[in-house]
């Protein structure tokens, strides 16, 4: 009986193989290449259906190596193979959810999750009222697959705390290759600032994105190096972590991304805040005082900054000094131009904004001739509004901005509380590396906006998912509840 079944299976295998090869050969003669992707598509559907966790880990591993492709006939661009896989995973996830109705509502009712749901709902509303509805709905769709896969599926993946570190390593290892690739290309040009703009291509098309990716992981590597016995007993890993730290520090230095440098410095400063056990509301109060001080003394501060004439430069020390140059540095002045244009746009549409993803198409008429720079354009072909905070303010109005700020507030407050209260050192240090990695990007976000890019969106939404998962499943009280539920 077994021989007969095996024989029948072989016949089916050979029959399907012959049929596929014949069909593929015919379609190739007609220059129809899509059929070659069918086996991968079928494999992915099977994989997601029966092992969605492994599918997400696979996507995590290939994301640093994904390549941007422009489809000029359709007027769109996307990263291969990441975004098609994410779209497929999202569709299959919602299909399974519809059929099986299985998702842990405990995680869904977490403040971070609820705020993300409100964020998505407001994005839909502002897409309907958008100045360019089709553009906004495209933008919403791309954000939906990022958030669905990296946050909502991610929360379930991180129910096993070991998966948090597995996830981080699966991103870190290919990123290490990208850094080495970039350093090699950069070295061929003498490590000039101009070469930093393209050295990481084709994997990363923007040195700002590249710097942000690296900054996320520097706290993790430093914590591994300092607290290695918590994570592994292998002595050789000390050398590995030290080598990785050297590679990542070299990578971020030669990215010439000033915002990423500030992010790492901010993470170090935030660590001191945590060591002093300053509560979240103390942090908010301090920020409020700082903002008030800046507003009161803005004239004096501006006059002080105007004295700095050091432009961005190949010389790293001069490049650092150029961070505060708002008089002659074209990059800094262009940011001010984009922000001023955005505020004028906000005056016209303060409640719903201009619509998600529309800033780059709408801001040109709001520029003033005296604010334009040598790199100003009317098409935003050198970036968008250059601020993760200005972006929702202009595109989704004041409510969208406050929803986004609330999301960040919940993430920081929950992570800080976890760090202060957890007694399990493995989890405590895990929270620390996630929180400090997030701080690097939140700081970077004052000067750039990359949440529409798969490489940085994965890290941002996944880090939020890690905080939620640890808070819901791995706190002592939460762990006890999960155990009782499983036993019951």
List phi, psi (to 5°) of 79. Answer: -95, 135
Specify the length of the chain in residues: 488
Residue 431: give the domain boundaries. 133-278+389-478
Q: Into how many domains does the chain fold?
A: 1
Q: Is residue 420 part of a domain?
A: yes
- Assigned token pair, 8: 């029948």
Helix (H) or strand (E) holding 24: helix 2-29
DSSP string, 364-417: GGG--GGG--TT--SS-BTBSSS-TTHHHHHHHHHHHHHHHHHHHHHHHHHHHH
pLDDT digits (tens, 9 = 90+) for 250-263: 999 999 999 999 99
* pLDDT given at position 372: 84
Q: Is residue 50 part of a domain?
A: no
Q: Is residue 150 part of a domain?
A: yes
Q: Is residue 213 part of a domain?
A: yes
Nearest to 56 by CA among 141, 209, 159: 159
Which stretch of 71-85, 181-195, 328-342 has the lowest confidence by average pLDDT? Answer: 71-85
Q: Is residue 238 part of a domain?
A: yes
Residue 216 above 80 pLDDT?
yes
Region 81-109: mean pLDDT is: 85
pLDDT digits (tens, 9 = 90+) for 130-167: 999 999 999 999 999 999 999 999 999 999 999 999 99
Average pLDDT across the chain, whole number: 84
pLDDT digits (tens, 9 = 90+) for 333-377: 888 899 999 999 999 999 999 999 999 999 989 998 888 888 787
68 contacts: CB under 8 Å, gap ≥ 6: 77, 78, 79, 202, 205
* pLDDT given at position 6: 45
Nearest to 430 by CA among 238, 204, 169: 169
Region 310-329: mean pLDDT is: 61
Helix (H) or strand (E) holding 76: strand 76-80
Measured CA to CA in angstroms, residue 20 lies from 12, 13, 47, 92 at distances of: 12, 11, 20, 25
Distance CA 283, CA 187 (A): 42
Check whether the bond before 81 is cis (ω within 30° of 0).
yes
Q: Is residue 155 part of a domain?
A: yes
Q: Is residue 432 part of a domain?
A: yes
- Assigned token pair, 420: 């202060």
Residue pointed to by tokens 């553009």: 135
Q: Is residue 318 part of a domain?
A: no
Distance CA 273, CA 269 (A): 7
Distance CA 484, CA 482 (A): 6
The alpha carbons of the chain give a radius of gyration, in whole angstroms, of 24
């Amino acid at each position: 009986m077994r021989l007969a079944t095996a024989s029948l299976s072989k016949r089916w295998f050979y029959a399907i193989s012959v049929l596929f090869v014949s069909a593929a050969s015919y379609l190739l003669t007609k220059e129809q290449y899509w059929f070659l992707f069918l086996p991968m598509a079928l494999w992915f559907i099977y994989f997601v259906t029966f092992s969605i966790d492994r599918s997400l880990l696979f996507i995590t591993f290939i994301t640093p190596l994904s390549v941007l492709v422009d489809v000029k006939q359709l007027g769109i661009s996307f990263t291969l193979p990441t975004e098609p896989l994410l779209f497929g995973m999202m569709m299959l996830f919602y299909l399974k959810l519809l059929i099986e109705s299985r998702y842990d509502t405990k995680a869904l009712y977490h403040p971070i999750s609820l705020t993300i749901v409100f964020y998505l709902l407001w994005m839909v509303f502002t897409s309907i009222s958008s100045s360019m509805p089709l553009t906004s709905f495209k933008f919403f769709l791309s954000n939906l697959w990022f958030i669905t896969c990296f946050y909502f599926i991610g929360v379930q993946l991180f129910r096993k705390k070991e998966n948090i570190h597995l996830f981080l390593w699966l991103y870190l290892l290919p990123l290490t290759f990208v850094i080495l690739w970039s350093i090699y290309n950069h070295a061929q040009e003498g490590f000039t600032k101009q070469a930093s703009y393209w050295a990481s291509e084709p994997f990363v098309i923007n040195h700002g994105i590249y710097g942000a990716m690296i900054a996320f992981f520097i706290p993790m590597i430093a914590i591994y190096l300092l607290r290695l016995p918590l994570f592994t007993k292998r002595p050789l890993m000390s050398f590995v972590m030290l080598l990785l730290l050297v590679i990542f520090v070299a990578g971020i230095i030669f990215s010439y991304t000033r915002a990423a440098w500030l992010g790492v410095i901010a993470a170090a400063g935030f660590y001191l805040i945590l060591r002093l056990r300053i509560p979240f509301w103390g942090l908010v109060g301090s920020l409020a005082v700082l903002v008030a001080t800046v507003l009161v003394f803005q004239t004096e501060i501006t006059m002080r900054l105007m004295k700095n004439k050091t432009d961005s430069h190949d010389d790293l020390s001069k490049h650092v000094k150029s961070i505060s140059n708002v008089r002659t540095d074209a990059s800094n002045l262009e940011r001010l131009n984009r922000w001023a244009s955005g505020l004028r746009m906000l005056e016209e549409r303060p409640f719903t904004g201009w619509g998600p993803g529309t800033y780059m198409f709408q801001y040109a008429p709001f520029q003033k001739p005296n604010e334009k720079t040598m790199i100003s354009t009317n098409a935003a072909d050198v970036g968008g509004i250059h601020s993760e905070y200005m972006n929702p303010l202009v595109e989704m109005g004041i409510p969208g901005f406050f929803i986004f700020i609330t999301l960040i507030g919940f993430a920081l407050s929950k992570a800080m509380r976890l760090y202060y209260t957890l007694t399990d050192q493995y989890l405590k240090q895990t929270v620390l590396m996630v929180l400090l990695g997030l701080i690097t990007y939140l700081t970077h976000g004052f000067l750039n906006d990359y949440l529409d890019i798969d490489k940085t969106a994965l890290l941002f939404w996944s880090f939020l998912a890690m905080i939620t998962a640890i808070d819901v499943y791995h706190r002592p009280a939460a762990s006890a509840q999960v155990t009782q539920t499983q036993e019951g």
